[in-house]
Structure 1
Amino acid sequence: MQMSKEFAVDLGEKYNKVLKLLEDSKFDPPNEPYASKCAAKEILIDMKAKLENTSNNQFSSSSELLKIKAMLGSVYLYLGMTSIEMEELSEGENSLQNCHDTIRDFFNNPRRQLDSGDYDPIDWALNAATLSQFFMEKNGFKQARHHLAASSYIMDEYKEKLFSVSERNEEFDAKVEVFKHRSADIARCWAKYGLVLLSKSKERLLNHTDDISENCSLSADLSKMTLNPDANVSLEELQNLEFTSPKLGHYEKQITDKFVLIMQDAKLVFLNIQGWLQKAESYYTLETLASDHIEIVQDQSNMYFGLLFFEDNVDNQAKLHKRRIDLLENVIQQINPKYYLQYCRQIWFELGQIYSDILNIKCDKLREIEGRPSPHMLAKINHLTEKSIYSFTCFVESFKSDQEEEFVTQIPADFEKAVMQAYFHIGALNNKYITLNKKTQLANIEMSYKAYKKVVDYCKLNEKVIEQMPMEHNICKEMVTLLPVKMAKLAQELH
């Protein structure tokens, strides 16, 4: 017996409807939070019954049975996840266990869709690109690049077929839109590969400052890693994480799969990231898909940050920081904090750090100058100080309600450390203003004292925060003791 075409088409349509309902579930009204999930669950139950009935029949080939088992496993998986999200935990657990039992005998069967041609190109490419994210987080850059290369290969092959048709209608336009959308997503996955490679390379160098070639055994290839005795995967399995049919060399050679050591290599990675993010940005515009656009701008800032570690020239470091400022200042001026508060908070904090980093570079250069510094240089230092304080202040004040003049007594747990660090920076920055006016000096010290005291007072009421930032807390306590003496001395001189 063979699975009929009508049966497969019916299941495919139901599956797509389930995905659409689950995607739309985030828009369900508060009084019916599970409306879409309930509808999706009903369809899944119907699919389950049909597949279970079909799996009991005899098929002409083992591949037919494998398809049925794979589809049934997917249905059980979605049933389990949906039930758990609807707080039906016992039912969800049973469905997930059924998923495990259904596919258990096929765990070690090789991922052969490319050879059979039985796959949707867009879904396959997106799944391969998504899987690469797992590999790169485990330092498997060889495997991650290979899967991304396969993803791009399939997308290019699909593009050629898509645009070879002569009839251009609504269906064609819809397919082109999906292709552009998913191409942008895959470009973002490539960019993430480059960002993680720079980050992991930096981490590796920092952890092995002495003769890295002899003392570092960390590999960028999962098949060469040392496994723990109790590992549930073998080296043989890790060595087989490659596709045999497509020729991927053209796609793989555009970026290295080795850890970066010097600026020249880092710059090549940087240029690739830049190109991929530009491609993604052309689809995810601020006017149409603002959240994704903001995240792409943040990735652009991160690509300059990743390059910074490999740049020895302090003037060039300042220029890289300036590029980050231009990107972030531009986007934050165009978005409304009321609707994008989460992103605004991230950007305000990052801008505060960037301005502070440039300020430190300028202060170091100031100390190297023999004789009197130029007024322009002093003005630049004060300007950077002001901008950094402003950014950190925007961040902390975003946690106040409209009615509050003073700061709230309890900050959301996820932000406690960041808010206290922001106040710590504000305290330190107010001491970096350069002025000969004693009245201005006194005002700056008073602002510094207030910021440090915010940290001390909050930590008295929420002692667990001290564990997250012990050094900063100790400095704040010390400054709260010392600064009143300094303020009293200045006040006496003014009097």
Structure 2
Amino acid sequence: MADSWQPACDAYRRAIAASEVESKSDPENEPYRSKYRARELLREVRALLAPGAEEESGGGSQAAGEDEGRLLAARLAVIEFRLGVNHTETEEMSAGEEHLVKAVRLLERCRMAHDCVSIYVQGAGENNLGILWADRGEIIIAQTYLESAESLYCQYMKKIGKPPTDPDEHFTLEEQTLTEQERAKRFERVYTHTLYYLAQVYKHLKQDEKAAQYCHTTLQRQLEYDSYNPVEWAINAATLSQYYLGKQCYMEARHCLAASTVIFSKAGQILSPEAAKETDESEQERLDHLRQKKAEIARCWVKYCLNLLADARKKLEDNIGELDVDLQEELKAERKKQEDEKEKGRKKAVLFGSSDLYDSILAVEEKVHCSLPLDFKEAREVFLVGQNYINEAKEYFQLDGHVTDHIEVIQDHSALFKVLAFFEEDYERRCKMHKRRVDMLEPLCKELNPQYYLLICRQLQFELADTYYEMMDLKVAIGNKLDEMDSHTIKKINSLAQAAIKFYEMFLDSLRSPDKKFPEKLEEDVVRPALVAKFHIARLYGKLITADGKKQLENMQISLNCYAFLVNYCADHEEAIKSVETELELTKEMVALLPARMERLRIQLSSFS
């Protein structure tokens, strides 16, 4: 084989160059030209190594000397691996699988050897077969291959530990072999790749905790071995933060987001849209991609702030949805005792990067709390951070071109104001916060065409109705503190009630058929909102203030009609009862009480006439 060794090395190097470098310049009408050239070169190498090797399954392991046999098997396995990857890259999956399986078989008996293990884990198909089966949607088969690769890495590191030979070194002259450090780095990258794909597999299998654990480890290793794309890494870290949010692990979520922000800053300068226009087309695309990813990370920060505030509200509210002051003081005292120990204990498990990198991450972390805010001052600090990220997200997700994303960002902004208002004790200031929500949502509602954005229009209509309702309740509470309500307060209460009614009715009208008929049976996803809208309209008509007795009687009749609708609907569709149990109980009471009240009012009115 000595005579064929130099030509084999030369052909292998040309094949790698064709596949990894020259293929990037292939014309559109021949996208795989260089890949096909690489394939022919790899076949030449195989023929030089062992004529007739295509039919062999045990390869050179049967050769005269054990070491020589293992070496030949390793080299043939590298070629089979490269051919397998080549076929999968040219969308010939079955042929690709065939070559990868051959590579595995060639090394089955010597897979733990230092000059075979990396090929087996990476080249011999464990990773690549895992990916191939995952792409086919066969997740369990993919899991088997990837877990096998993980297991082999762990066994090898425990029993041998020596940095193994890299697959490409089998076709390198002696003076060009890698240093031990570079070998170790490459092998660790291969293992990181295995963990990355295992994270995806566990996510597919709904094993969320395991998926998050593997994702976290992958991100940490990518930093450790300097093997990552800053934008991709930052997005993955920001995505992982959303898993931790769902588990209410705010320290971990914040750490992921802070690391995401720091690593993303390494991706390069992001020009303004105006400045970007002056660059060439490819650079414009790159800059637009960066702006989009920056906005996506900002949205993850918004969700962090929103969840933190919302969870604080849930913890602090009493049975009527107001701030429980006694509980607030109790939680403040409890937090003071526990915070230091908690911080020390949990941070050890989630650190990303070296100490130098962590200093930058810590600086970002310190801008926002990771413990639940317990009063208005603390809540406002979280709110302001969230609002800054809202503005950052809006820079990219503008209404013109990003309708759905823009509206979701605005809805998050509205939600931030809503949850901050919970912490505000002054009703007038709280009312102003809700007014800010109206000011940002109402123009969107008017601008959108329901024909194209029906679901979004319904969401906005319902949220606006709820917001006006909340403002009306606040104005009533303010008015009740006065000795006597003045005409301005009464007018304001009525105006807010009518605005709430208007948007609830717009929502209900959106459920009508083209011939304006209200459905006899509501779709499952709108049963609760539709019945709640009817319930709220009934209550709102009951809250309208008027000195005109006839008008009051009319309002009471509309109120009774809406209450009756809810009762009758639930009687006809019993499956709807569970979605409005609380409202239905109150509704039945009102259906029983209202007729008698209306009769008394009629008697009063007739006595005056």
Which TM-score band applies after superposition, normalised by the shorter structure?
A: 0.7 to 0.9
**Which residue of the other structure, out of 576, 579, 589, is the alignment partner of 1:468?**
579
Matches within 5 A, 1:322-333: 322-333=435-446
Q: Aligned match of 1:397 in 497, 506, 509?
A: 509
1:325–1:354 contact (8 Å) kept in structure 2: yes
Describe the superposition over 1:53-104 as per-residue Cα deviations: whole angstroms up to 9, x where unpaired: 5666678586776656555544433432xxxxxxxxxx56545555555556
Please tell me the residue identity of whatever aligns with 1:389: I
- RMSD of equivalent CA atoms: 3.7
Partner SS for 2:423: coil
1:196 correspondence with 2:307 = yes
Letter in 2 for 1:408: P
Q: Kindly tell me: are residues 348 and 168 of structure 1, through their superposed partners in 2, closer, same or farther at Cα, counting changes over 3 Å?
A: closer
* 1:142–1:220 Cα contact (<8 Å) kept: no
Aligned to 2:528: 417
Alpha-carbon distance in 2 for matches of 1:388, 1:210: 35
Aligned ranges for residues 29-428 of structure 1 at < 5 Å?
Answer: 69-70=126-127, 72-80=129-137, 94-95=141-142, 98=145, 103=150, 110-111=217-218, 112-160=221-269, 168-206=279-317, 208-209=327-328, 211-213=330-332, 239-245=348-354, 246-247=357-358, 248-371=361-484, 373-405=485-517, 407-428=518-539
- Secondary structure in structure 1 of the residue aligned to 2:542: coil
Amino acid at match of 1:142: M
Change (3 A) 1:253 1:70: farther
Report if aligned partners of 1:187, 1:279 keep a CA contact under 8 Å in 2.
Answer: yes
SS in structure 1 at match of 2:532: helix
The answer to whether the 8 A contact 2:255-2:365 is kept is yes
Percent pairwise identity: 30
Structure of greater relative contact order (alpha carbons < 8 Å, 6+ residues apart): 1
Asked whether the equivalents of residues 542 and 556 of structure 2 are also in contact (C-alpha less than 8 Å), the reply is yes
Alpha-carbon distance between aligned partners in 2 of 1:128 and 1:115, rounded to the nearest angstrom: 15
The residue type paired with residue 129 of structure 1 is A
Counterpart for residue 18 of structure 1: none
1:243 maps to a residue whose letter is F
1:266 CA drift (Å): 1.5
Task: Indicate the SS of the match to 1:431.
Answer: helix
The code of the aligned residue for 1:324 comes to R
Normalized against structure 2, the TM-score is what? 0.65
Using the size of structure 1 for normalisation, the TM-score is 0.79
Go from structure 1 to structure 2 and tell me whether the alpha carbon gap of 1:482 and 1:382 turns closer, same or farther (over 3 Å shift). same
2:206 counterpart residue number:
none
What is the distance in 2 between the residues matched to 1:153 and 1:50? Answer: 42
Q: Say if 1:325 and 1:351, in contact at 8 Å, map to a contact too.
A: yes
SS at match of 2:409: helix
Q: Which moved more, 1:52-61 or 1:459-468?
A: 52-61
**Where does residue 590 of structure 2 map in the other structure?**
479
CA offsets, 1:274-332, max 9 Å, x none? 11111111111111110000000000001111211221111110011111111111211
Question: Structure 1 residue 215: deviation in Å?
Answer: 5.7
Q: Matches of 2:24 and 2:575 in 1, distance apart?
A: 52
- Aligned counterparts of 1:221 and 1:339: Cα–Cα separation in 2: 52
Q: Partners in 2 of 1:457 and 1:413 — Cα distance?
A: 17
In the alignment, residue 466 of structure 1 is paired with which amino acid?
A: I
CA distance in 2, matches of 1:153, 1:279: 16
Unpaired runs of 5+ residues, structure 1, are 14-38, 81-90, 226-234
- Matched residue type, 2:529: A
Contact 2:130 2:142 (C-alpha < 8 Å) held by counterparts: no
8 Å Cα contact 2:427-2:474 kept in structure 1: yes
CA distance in 2, matches of 1:7, 1:222: 54
Return the structure number with greater helix share: 2
Distance 1:318 1:12 in 2: 59
